[in-house]
Amino acid sequence: MKKYFTEYIPVEGEIKEVKGTPIYSIDGIVQFELRAHRDINSPSNILRCHDGETYKDYLDSQCKPVKLCLCSRNVKIGDKFDQLPGINGVSYICKEIANGFILDDEGKHRAIETCFKVVGDISPDALSYVKRGMEYDEDQVQGYFEKLPYDENHKALIDKALLQFKKPLVFKIRGECGYFH
């Protein structure tokens, strides 16, 4: 088993209404197909989605947009984590790890093999070839701080700011070409 894997995580915001866009529904991850309409000029609150086998309708209030994130099963005390397979966007905090279980901040014991933490976002350049469920070793991912500008005159100040972060904000993934995107 590799150190990292990719998973869709529910996020706040508007659902991108483009055919094939993954969204989180009450049944898990599905693909957006279309918004139903009452008539030609009146869209409804019904989203028709596809789970790979069948079509199903959901109220838009039952769905959330998702983003593909880099995740790890290496949960440590103090980490925020979620649990597979029912990814619901609810984060727990790891209070204790013992005998193959994680004690969360709600006082519940959860099997450690079902728990994971979000490590960071995946670079937009890698989203064309990175898919849900792919696994990576440490040498296949490269973190960077996308939101910090680089300024040669203030390099020392920026380096000091980078040290304050515990983890990178965005991760590049090595493609089949051998380069990180």
In a domain, 55, yes or no: yes
In a domain, 98, yes or no: no
- Domain total of the chain: 1
pLDDT tens readout for residues 12-39: 888 888 998 999 888 888 999 988 888 8
What's the predicted TM-score (pTM) here? 0.77
Assigned token pair, 164: 């304050």
In a domain, 77, yes or no: no
Q: How sure is the predictor about 94, in pLDDT bands with cuts at 50, 70 and 90?
A: very high
Dihedral of CA atoms 180, 72, 29, 143 in degrees, nearest 10, equals -30
Query: How many angstroms from the chain centroid is the CA of residue 93?
Result: 17
164 pLDDT more than 60: no
Domain that holds residue 23: 7-67
Predicted pLDDT at 151: 53
Question: Any idea which residue has 């515990």 for tokens?
Answer: 166
In a domain, 56, yes or no: yes
Predicted pLDDT at 107: 92
Predicted pLDDT at 136: 93
Q: Report helix, strand or coil for 145.
A: coil
In a domain, 12, yes or no: yes
